[in-house]
Amino acid sequence: MKLKGTTQQKVIRICLLSASILALGSAMAQYEGSDPRQRRLPAVKPSDALLARIDAALPKPVTDEDFPPRDPAKEALGQVLFFDKILSGNKNIACATCHHPLAGTGDGLSLPVGEGGIGLSTTRSTGDETSRVSERVPRNAPHLFNIGAREFTKMFHDGRVEENADHPTGYSSPAGDDLPLGLDSALAAQALFPPTSGAEMAGHPGENPVADAAAAGNLAGPNGVWAQLAERVAAIPEYERLFSEAFDDVEGAEDITMTHVANAIAAFEAATFRADDTPFDRFLRGDLTAMSPRALMGMELFYGEAKCATCHKGTFLTDQGFHAAGMPQIGPGKGDNLPGYDDGLDDFGRERVTGDAADRFRFRTPALRNVALTGPWGHAGAYSDLRRVVEHQLDVAAALEAYDPNQAILPSDPNLDPFDFVVISDPARRAAIAATAEIEPLALDDEQIDAIVEFLHALTDSRFLDMRRIVPKEIPSGLPLAD
């Protein structure tokens, strides 16, 4: 917390006092009766050591300096591109399909249903006889809140796109040297990849030229995925106008590239999904009444005994690192195999990027603002109840053994269902995941868990409870907005 002088210590003392009183009130009830009028709570003063620890752990408030400068023209262009299916091979899925404002900037599913699916969010099916998905997208669609901030230099659950000053393109990515120059951020670099995935946006070989190029690994060539999509966009007069207004180096349709597309989408996402007006943020800025007593108790646990801030620290409640939290593995996996297996249903996480076995099952620490809006949670979306996510962190091995597949949100499909819970149903595979977990078991009672969950709800920016305003009324391609 960055308040001046003695005000800072007063804030911490008052908050911890409130939280301590709440906790002690519950404990005292068993000795002095359940009637609140009969309780006489003792005065409590947190120790100086606890005050110092919590004070040092609290982050600084978010400021404009944490984000790139705004560019209204790029943002307006990025908005319509984000919702336009023109960027998919079969023109039937948009970025917004899996990152929709009406689904918390995700899709509400454990694992996305990509190209070929029908519908939006939890109503989305795996398609029909004319267009059916062949696989689930193997990882949960991550939320978009605050990922446009400057400190987010790694993208995707495994960080396979990240800033790298030593690379000619400025980024390490699966595209290697084929990644185009001129990208504004890692977020812009990330935007280039979903259109290259057959399961996500490109489609399957034989369905369209974009899908054929993607299957051949032709991303940046003259007839590659990115060139084809840029030509599609450039052929629409309204887009030519919008790009010319947003970019100084675009004078006509022939100048439009996928770099421009990606930079515009990133500008839209960074500005639109900035979430920093939560009760917690108001508290950090000096409003001592912003959070409830129970949320204050949860904050004390979060930054203290529960050790949540070991990973969820800093301004955006993430250390931007990769950790093995032992989250359940469901779905088709990423083609990895533990020793003795050959079905490809495992997902080794960060190890897939670094090649280091020490990174097995490590995934990026998610930022937590608006976390209550962004379920299901986990790299595979295994949990649909936020409280169960907290309980998982308290005893990973026990949580894996007790995992209930019914909490996964997966549209049923006879060809896909048999593979969904193979890994989590296998004792050896569960044990392998548990063995890498970096979290030591911790015993907390129900009231303490409830308090942590309430603190997580205090990370909700109420401006994003209704995001209908973000959806445009129409898009330049004329393709339907509805899914």
Fill in the DSSP letter of residue 106.
B
Phi and psi at residue 364, to the nearest 5°: -65, 140
pLDDT of residue 130: 80
- Quick one: which H or E segment has residue 128? strand 127-128
Which of these, 397, 369, 402, 364, lies nearest to 383 by C-alpha position? Answer: 402
Fill in the DSSP letter of residue 255.
G
- Quick one: which H or E segment has residue 132? strand 131-132
Going from N- to C-terminal start, the domains of the chain cover 5-62
Q: Is 207 helix (H, G, I), strand (E, B) or coil?
A: coil
Can you read off the two tokens belonging to residue 426? Answer: 């296998």
Phi and psi at residue 161, to the nearest 5°: -115, 120
| Averaged pLDDT, groups of 10, the chain, 483 residues long | 37 42 37 33 40 71 97 98 98 98 97 96 92 94 98 98 97 98 98 97 96 98 96 98 98 98 98 98 91 93 95 97 98 98 98 98 98 98 98 98 97 97 98 97 97 98 98 97 86
pLDDT of residue 53: 57
How far is Cα of residue 27 from the mean position of the Cα atoms in its chain? Answer: 37
Residues 6+ apart with CB under 8 A from 476: 80, 84, 236, 238, 239, 242
Q: Is 364 helix (H, G, I), strand (E, B) or coil?
A: strand
In which residue are the tokens 């409280």 written? 387
Task: Indicate if the alpha-carbon torsion angle 270, 272, 277, 280 is positive or negative.
Answer: negative
301 and 310 Cβ atoms separated by less than 8 Å = no
In which residue are the tokens 């930022």 written? 367
Residues 6+ apart with CB under 8 A from 401: 430
Q: Determine the residue type at 285.
A: R
Which of these, 331, 292, 265, lies nearest to 79 by C-alpha position? Answer: 265
Q: Is 45 helix (H, G, I), strand (E, B) or coil?
A: coil
Q: Determine the residue type at 75.
A: E
Distance CA 208, CA 464 (A): 37
pLDDT of residue 369: 98
Distance CA 479, CA 52 (A): 57
- For 165-203, b where at least 16 C-beta lie within 10 A, e where not — what string? eeeebbbbbebeebbbeebbbbbbbbbbbbbbbbbbbbb
End-to-end CA distance of the chain: 44
- For 131-163, b where at least 16 C-beta lie within 10 A, e where not — what string? eebebbbbbbbbbbbbbbbeebbbbbbbbbbbb
Q: Is 243 helix (H, G, I), strand (E, B) or coil?
A: helix
Burial status of residue 468 (CB atoms within 10 A of its CB: 0-12, 13-18, 19 or more): exposed
In which residue are the tokens 């978010």 written? 62
Distance CA 196, CA 213 (A): 9
Can you read off the two tokens belonging to residue 159? Answer: 């960080």
Distance CA 472, CA 19 (A): 44
pLDDT of residue 35: 36
Q: Is 200 helix (H, G, I), strand (E, B) or coil?
A: helix
Residues 6+ apart with CB under 8 A from 1: 8, 11, 12, 55, 58, 59, 60, 284
Which of these, 81, 79, 66, 115, lies nearest to 320 by C-alpha position? Answer: 66
338 and 117 Cβ atoms separated by less than 8 Å = no
In order of 16, 25, 181, 477, the CA distances from 296 in angstroms are 7, 14, 46, 49
Can you read off the two tokens belonging to residue 87? Answer: 């960027």
**Within the chain, how many helices (H) and strands (E) appear?**
16, 7
Residues 6+ apart with CB under 8 A from 184: 68, 263, 266, 267
Q: Is 363 helix (H, G, I), strand (E, B) or coil?
A: strand
